[in-house]
Amino acid sequence: MPTRNLPPVLARLIRVVTWTENALLIAMLASMVLLAAAQILFRNFFDTSIFGADQLLRLLVLWVAFLGAVAASREGKHIHVDAIARWLPGRLKSGVVAATDLFTLAVCLVLAWQALRFMQSAHESGEMVFGSLPVWVAASILPLAFTLIALRYALRFVHHVQQARGREVAE
């Protein structure tokens, strides 16, 4: 999504969020690789394992998957169905894509809301993932990711509506 036509504050915020997403993805992926390698070494050479490593790896997989989905939505590399839009002329195509963006935005907002409800329920139950990490903290990626994806689709929607109206918008 181009940031050239956005207010400077919003463009800067998008850059900061993008940098943070990338940094988290890199750190978590590196942690997964190192922890998994250490776990293999410990099991094969010392007949023991790192306490909580398997649970932490599962949690990191969840976080990396959702952060990856956020990054994919940012880059437009997510799975999408464009069988109809692909064959339409410019402005009509932008209108159909805008409608698809709006639908995706609505779905992501519903999922974010339900994820927040799940977090609230987990918080009230006091359930722990492992050790002293509450389930609601571990699951906080769910509403965060769906909200970020929804925000991206809101920006895409505005962009495609402008294109459908015939305004020149930089890709």
Does any domain span residue 53? yes
The crossing angle, in degrees rounded to 10, of helices 141-164 and 53-75 is 10
- Token pair recorded at residue 35: 């922890």
Question: Count of domains in the chain?
Answer: 1
Can you tell me the distance from the alpha carbon of 143 to that of 70, in angstroms, rounded to the nearest whole number? 12
Does any domain span residue 169? no
DSSP state of 133: E
Does any domain span residue 2? no
Which H or E run contains 132? none
Per-residue pLDDT 10s for the chain (171 aa) are 556 666 788 888 888 988 999 999 999 999 999 999 999 999 999 999 998 889 999 999 999 999 999 999 887 766 666 667 666 776 777 778 888 889 999 999 999 999 999 999 999 998 888 778 899 999 999 999 999 999 999 988 888 788 777 765 554
Q: Would you say the C-alpha torsion 148, 52, 136, 80 has a positive or negative sign?
A: positive
Which residues face 128 on adjacent strands? 134
Does any domain span residue 156? yes
Does any domain span residue 3? no
Can you tell me the distance from the alpha carbon of 153 to that of 104, in angstroms, rounded to the nearest whole number? 7
CB 105 within 8 A of CB 157: yes
Does any domain span residue 109? yes
Can you tell me the distance from the alpha carbon of 131 to that of 51, in angstroms, rounded to the nearest whole number? 10
Does any domain span residue 70? yes
Domain encompassing residue 55: 8-164
Can you tell me the distance from the alpha carbon of 53 to that of 101, in angstroms, rounded to the nearest whole number? 39
* Helix, strand, coil share (%) of the chain residues, nearest 5: 75, 5, 20
Does any domain span residue 62? yes
